[in-house]
Amino acid sequence: MNRYGKEFTKGILRENPVLRLVLGTCPTLAVTTAAVNGLGMGAAATFVLVCSNIVISLLRKVIPDKVRLPAYIVIIAGFTTIVQMLVKAYLPSIDQALGIYLPLIVVNCIILGRAEAFASKNSVGLSTLDGLGMGAGFTASLVVMGSIRELLGNGTLFGWPENGLLPPITIFVLPAGGFFVFGMLIYLANKLSHRLDKDAAKKELGTQVCAACPMASSCHTAGACETGQSNPVTEPDSKEVKENG
Amino acid sequence: MESTLIVSSSPHLHSGADTRGVMLDVIVALIPAGIASVWLFGWRALAVELVCVAACIAAEILSRWVLKRPSSIGDLSCVVTGLLLAYNLPVSIPLWQAALGCVAAIVVAKQMFGGIGQNFVNPALLGRIVLLASFPESMNTWTAPVQLQGVDAVTTATPLAVLASGGDLSAIPLDQLFFGMRGGCLGETCVFALLLGGAYLVIRRVITPIIPLVYIGTVFVMTWLLGANPLYHILSGGLLLGAIFMATDYTTSPINRSGQVVFAIGCGLLTVLIRLYGSLPEGVSFAIVIMNILTPLIERATRPLPFGEKRRWLRRG
């Protein structure tokens, strides 16, 4: 996969801002009582994230290093204000549901984190894709979490059907249930991305390391490198040193 | 490995106590309250108790299997959890909700933290609180005991709910409360049966009477000082069930005597504060769970010191 694809997809699972980096937990726990709130919050934050990433990346050589954080905040606050006004005008019900958490996107640590860690060091194209990927990961996490909590806690999904599919277990829409679902999703995301990492490492080692390894012809533990447990390349060396010494 | 830990060679006595024996004693001590619950609320009480015990056993077996840990079903602790949780439920609760509470108790409160001896709060109480937060309607529908009703089941308010809404209890004679003829959870109403079980536990030395006595004493003094009727507060609600069977849980209460006194006074204070000033009529379960969480801090503050050492309050680690 080329660089651009990688910058986009990393935010969805491997560096998912909510479940892997554990950033932005405050809006995550607070607004995910319903799936539609998660979607609204995710979309609003993604818009701010992409726009601020673009602008910060464009201005990265102009902004003096010493005042970069206030400068980032001003840019982020500008876009947050735009989003807030748009949502208030066109989606008043979402505005009601998100409440204080919509203006609080200004201090969302995912957005500031991406500005500081990525957009201030990379080109506009990469920063846009990074913002899109991180926003997609954030939105996906919020929608999944909101769906689980809404389905179990209220019996509905995106407000459908009106009578409810399941008998409601209210604790899932309360904070305690939010933390529980959050913990379970973090567990799942860790498990999944460890498996992906393992597969990727296997692939890489299988094709590159053995081929490039000078000991490949006489290696008795072919493939052992893949698990990362032992390193047959250095073993013979250390033996030699022992014998010599 | 274990043999290297023995230092002296004298003949050693072992009391023979093990987890299974202790849990069996607790189950025996819970039986009078179970009989009372069937006598007061009919056969559905037994159904709720059986479902809870079965759900707890199933949850224990399944979670140990999923976590790839050795089975711990033999220590019978999950049976105790199931019975205690059932005693904390109203008789009319839908059975699937009761089973769900058992799953929360065993899986979330106990096995996720490492199984018996590792839970940070009493599993049965956590199950009850999860149910209370999840199904407020079915957890607050109280049926009058069969002795007090005609042909149809009658819903009623618990004495504490009557007190909380400013009502007067003096119409209910104390002996009626003593034998449990009032609305309430399955196992909490019959004070006589609970005292029997508590006496058995004390005689068998499964529990020391410190926590129950201090807990109940604190509630008595506090309600009396605050102008409520202490006898009604002790005889109604889940105070005795909580004080005898749940606040005395080994894992979640302090080890030494001074710590137990602090723990029990805390339970009593919180119970009275929730009952008299909180929005809920009953506070025993929340009081015990809060003190469960504070137990490690109490342990640290009341740790016995070696001779000559001074207590340092802000030591870390």
Domain count, chain A: 1
Domain spans, chain B? 19-302
Cβ–Cβ pairs < 8 A, chains A and B: 16
Say what the pLDDT of residue B7 is: 64
What pLDDT does residue B34 have? Answer: 94
Across the interface, whether the CB atoms of A174 and B130 are under 8 A apart is answered: no
Q: Nearest residue of A to residue B133 by CA position? A: A171
A205 domain-assigned: no
Using an 8 Å CB-CB cutoff, list chain A residues near B108.
Answer: 180
For residue A110, is it within any domain?
A: yes
Instruction: Judge: B133–A170 Cβ closer than 8 Å, yes or no.
Output: yes
Comparing C-alpha atoms, which of B129, B124, B56 is closest to residue B282? B129
Residue B254 pairs in a beta bridge with none
pLDDT value of residue A146: 94
Q: Any CB–CB contact under 8 A between A180 and chain B?
A: yes
Q: Are the CB atoms for B86 and B186 separated by under 8 Å?
A: yes
CB contact under 8 A, A174 and B133: yes
Q: A231 lies in a domain?
A: no
From the candidates B67, B112, B128, B134, which should be mutated to test the interface with A, based on the most A CB atoms within 10 A? B134
Among chain B residues, the shortest Cα distance to A153 is held by B134
Q: Tell me: the pLDDT tens digits for A54-74? A: 999 999 999 999 999 999 999
Residue A24 domain flag: yes
B136·A170 Cβ contact <8 A: yes
Q: Is the pLDDT of residue A243 over 60?
A: no
**Residue A65 falls within a domain, yes or no?**
yes
Q: What percent of chain A has pLDDT over 70?
A: 83
Domain presence at residue A228: no
Residue A157 lies in a domain: yes
ipTM of predicted assembly, 2 dp: 0.81
- Which residues in chain A have their CB less than 8 angstroms from residue B130's CB? 171, 176
Structural domain includes residue A104: yes
Q: How close B134 gets to chain A, by Cα (Å)?
A: 4
CATH T-level fold of B19-302 = Ammonium transporter fold (1.10.3430)
Higher local confidence (pLDDT), B314 or A161: A161
Chain B residues with beta carbon closer than 8 angstroms to that of A169 = 100, 134-135
pLDDT at res. B124: 94
Residue B1 clears pLDDT 50, i.e. is over it: no
Q: What is the pLDDT of residues B220-265, one digit of tens each?
A: 999 999 988 888 888 888 899 999 999 999 899 998 899 999 999 9
Confidence bin at B303 (pLDDT 50/70/90): confident
pLDDT, position B86: 95
Interface of B with A (CB under 8 A): 100, 108, 130, 133-136
Q: Which chain A residue lies closest to B138 (C-alpha atoms)? A: A169
Query: What domain range includes position A45?
Result: 3-200
Q: Which residue in chain A has the smallest CA separation from B136?
A: A170
